Structure 1
Amino acid sequence: MKTASERYAALVRLVESRTVTRATPALLLPAGPYFDLAGEEFGRNLLLTTTNNGVEYCLRPDFTLPIAQQYLEDGLTGAPSAYTYLGPIFRQYQSTPVEFEQAGLELLGQADADNALDQVLTFARWALAIYDITAPSVRLGGVGLFEAFLEAAQIPVAWRSRIRHRFGHPEALERLMERLANPEERVEAPAPDSRDTVIEIVTDAMLSGGLSLIGSRTPEEIADRYLEKQALESAPIPPETVALLQNYLSVAESTETAFERISEMCKQAGFDFDEPLYQVRNHAAALAALSPNADVIFDASFSPRLDYYTGIVFEMTGSDGEVLASGGEYDRMLERLGAGEPVKASGCALWVDRLEREAEQ
């Protein structure tokens, strides 16, 4: 059995392969991009400091975002690049500052996105093998597959973004599904003719009520929210479509069984969904070949909480249920960071301390 130092040395060799560039982002990074990309929920886990001119910085909470930023700043948009990393990250855990060590791989601008994801899965399995973890539990999810399902099932456009934004947030999605399954009886007042009309009505109401027009919610924001609600109310989802959506989200079983179940439910609903399923099937098969002892399931409701993920996502857990590795395809991150053209991206992060604990059990 290898010692802890031998395992770590093997991980370093994996990270410093000749085919990749080992990245070492600064320990202190601007906090703004993390709030913009990951939102307040992730932001609460940051360890923050503020400069004299009011700019917020944070101790490095991950490697993916600064690597993606550097890729764009170096003018590499569209160029195939491979980065690895190994080092500390810093977050709050139960209101206590904690330092973790992470390793990972990021593949940006690869011509063959499917092959890039398979390389990411292979990297994760190699890393686990260093720690003698040969039979992890693996959960696959499909963000792009879910978006394709919403379109194929003819979910009204007005509802798609609302449902998608709750994907990966089980409690919020469950509340929305409950609302869709049990619509309230209501009589709505006629909607005003235009956005400008609504803004004027809201402005008059705020001023007559003594409210400031400069605050957390402007008349424009209130008007847009009102019009969105009107659009949703005017586009109800048929009960059978709600039931189909709930049935899809309930799928969480072995990959082949899961894909067959999804395929069959879609055919019964009157549409063929086998082509969108094809890509996920292939990656699941590649993962099974790579790690035949792993327990692999497809969970249709699984998604990271970060909405820049776009395709297949995964997490690998150990015997105690802790996540050892996670990742997937995240094309939207580069776009939201200002890339002038679409950039394919996939990667994974591994929790080194957890890997070591699993190896010692």
Structure 2
Amino acid sequence: MRLERSIPAEALDAIRAPLLAAGAAPTDAPVLQPLGLLLDLAGEAMRSRLFVVSGDGGEEAALRPDFTVAVARQHFSGGAASGRYRYEGKAFRVAPRGSDRAEEFLQIGIEAFEAGDPVAADAEMAALAWAASAAGGRGDLSLVLGDVSLFAAFVDSLDLAAPLAARLKRAFAKPRQLKAELDGSSERGLAADEEKSRIAALLAGLPEAEASAVLQELWSLAGIEPVGGRRPAEIARRLVEKAETAKAGRLDADQAAKVRAFLAVSDRPEAALDAIASLAGPNDAALKAAVAGWRARLSGMAAQGVPLERATLAAAFGRAFGYYDGYLFEVRSAALSDERPIAAGGRYDGLPGRLGVSTINTGAVGFMVRPARAYAGGGE
């Protein structure tokens, strides 16, 4: 297990201080989390970074890779409609670049489940993350901003066929898949896959629960025991998506050029918003609303001390955790690589529903800080 360098207590106190003042209740969460659930929520890209162990009853589990899902599960299991939580503890991931060693590192952060103004909450979370990061003493910080829902609103403005639009939105955080969409190669590959998969065509006509039951029955008849932590419902859903997307068509040259132009936008936030607005298609109501929301969010961030002259709004910026569905941010240091952010966070309003919560109407936003990276005297 690879451990982070320790940092002086006074430095940790300074980094922690903005979070202590944010009115969040202290909480902890189980170290072991269900592997299948994490893969369903965070996406397949996280599989290689999860440290898998045997959980209670022999089921596969993973050491928590961060706190967001763990804290959300804990909050909603209690039936509360709203809550704001502050955590501090160790998270675990397999080291990158093919190593099989686990990294153990300290995270502090806040997760907020609140039904108030989401734009104001977004600004507050970014301001808290910036203040905590800056308290570590580094003078070379920058802020990268992005928004999954901004891309979705842009795609909607193009007035594409619904299946094609849905396919593009799903591809946003998957560079290879998105490149295939823009190059026009995905339709041919997916069509070939569909021809080879009668199961996908069969499941496509069924409700999700029935599709899952059919898949389980087929496994039973064939004597197959699925491995790898994927649940039947998730596997069925992916097969159905393959069958449906083959019928969706593809972008024409002008549409692909517009999407490429959107993804290329990376500038100071106000200038980036102007560029994005200029690319809107004919159905631009949602995009206009999203851009207006971003201008309000930036005003709120500036009012709370975030130096926007150090910020970049990058339209293509996304995160590997698949449950983020709104605005995103990372605080970075020039002394560290872009893959080693000091702080990161964003909005994940859809996560409660994916956890099976259907009766509570609340927003969800949060962030984490890695103190060992924030500390100017540290090597992380």
Taking structure 2 as the reference length, what is the TM-score of the superposition?
A: 0.77
Q: Which residue of structure 2 aligns with residue 34 of structure 1?
A: 38
**1:46–1:58 CA contact under 8 A, matched in 2:** yes
Q: Which residue of structure 1 aligns with residue 212 of structure 2?
A: none
Q: 1:312 to 1:51 in 2, by over 3 A?
A: closer
Distance 1:115 1:134 in 2: 27
Q: Deviations over 1:222-244 (max 9, x none)?
A: 984674255223xx433222221
**Which residue of 85, 88, 91 corresponds with 1:89?**
91
Per the TM alignment, residue 10 of structure 1 is displaced from its structure 2 partner at its CA by 2.5
**1:180–1:242 CA contact under 8 A, matched in 2:** no
Q: Secondary structure at the match of 1:231?
A: coil
The aligned runs of 1:261-340 (5 Å cut-off) are: 261-266=275-280, 271=284, 273-289=287-303, 290-292=305-307, 294-320=309-335, 321=337, 322-340=340-358
Distance 2:107 2:113 in 1: 19
Distance 2:239 2:71 in 1: 39
The aligned runs of 1:142-221 (5 Å cut-off) are: 142-179=147-184
Per the TM alignment, residue 148 of structure 1 is displaced from its structure 2 partner at its CA by 1.1
Distance 1:38 1:315 in 2: 17
Matched, 1:99 2:101: no
Per the TM alignment, residue 182 of structure 1 is displaced from its structure 2 partner at its CA by 11
Matched, 1:67 2:71: yes
Q: Which residue of structure 2 aligns with residue 46 of structure 1?
A: 50
The letter of the residue matching 2:264 is S
Q: Which residue of structure 1 aligns with residue 251 of structure 2?
A: 237
Structure of larger gyration radius: 1
Q: Which residue of structure 2 aligns with residue 205 of structure 1?
A: none
**1:102–1:352 CA contact under 8 A, matched in 2:** yes
Q: Which piece of structure 1 moves more, 45-54 or 221-230?
A: 221-230
Q: Secondary structure at the match of 1:148?
A: helix
Q: Which piece of structure 1 moves more, 256-265 or 48-57?
A: 48-57
Distance 1:259 1:134 in 2: 27
Q: Deviations over 1:62-92 (max 9, x none)?
A: 111111011111110x32x111111111111
Q: Secondary structure at the match of 2:57?
A: coil
Q: Secondary structure at the match of 1:53?
A: helix
Per the TM alignment, residue 18 of structure 1 is displaced from its structure 2 partner at its CA by 7.2
**1:110–1:116 CA contact under 8 A, matched in 2:** no
Q: 1:329 to 1:162 in 2, by over 3 A?
A: same
**2:342–2:374 CA contact under 8 A, matched in 1:** yes
**1:138–1:294 CA contact under 8 A, matched in 2:** no
Distance 1:166 1:314 in 2: 19
**1:288–1:296 CA contact under 8 A, matched in 2:** no
Gaps of 5+ in 2: 1-6, 206-220, 227-231
Distance 1:106 1:172 in 2: 30
Q: Which has the higher contact order (CA 8 A, sep 6+)?
A: 2
Q: 1:213 to 1:302 in 2, by over 3 A?
A: same
The letter of the residue matching 2:354 is R
Distance 2:366 2:184 in 1: 36
The letter of the residue matching 2:143 is V
Distance 1:229 1:112 in 2: 35
Q: 1:245 to 1:214 in 2, by over 3 A?
A: farther
Distance 1:255 1:170 in 2: 23
The letter of the residue matching 1:326 is A
**2:203–2:240 CA contact under 8 A, matched in 1:** no
**Which residue of 4, 9, 12 corresponds with 2:13?**
9
Q: 1:52 to 1:334 in 2, by over 3 A?
A: closer
The letter of the residue matching 2:32 is L
Distance 2:293 2:203 in 1: 47
Identity of counterpart residues, as a percentage?
A: 23
Distance 1:242 1:14 in 2: 44
Distance 2:59 2:129 in 1: 36
**Which residue of 108, 115, 131 corresponds with 1:110?**
115
Q: Deviations over 1:293-315 (max 9, x none)?
A: 75211111111123321211111
**Which residue of 366, 369, 377 corresponds with 1:347?**
366
Per the TM alignment, residue 324 of structure 1 is displaced from its structure 2 partner at its CA by 0.7
The letter of the residue matching 2:91 is I
Alpha carbon RMSD of aligned pairs, Å? Answer: 3.5
Distance 1:355 1:254 in 2: 23
The letter of the residue matching 2:345 is G
Distance 2:87 2:203 in 1: 54
Q: Which residue of structure 2 aligns with residue 203 of structure 1?
A: none
Q: Secondary structure at the match of 1:335?
A: helix
Per the TM alignment, residue 318 of structure 1 is displaced from its structure 2 partner at its CA by 0.4
Q: Which piece of structure 1 moves more, 161-170 or 64-73?
A: 161-170
How many residues are matched?
A: 336
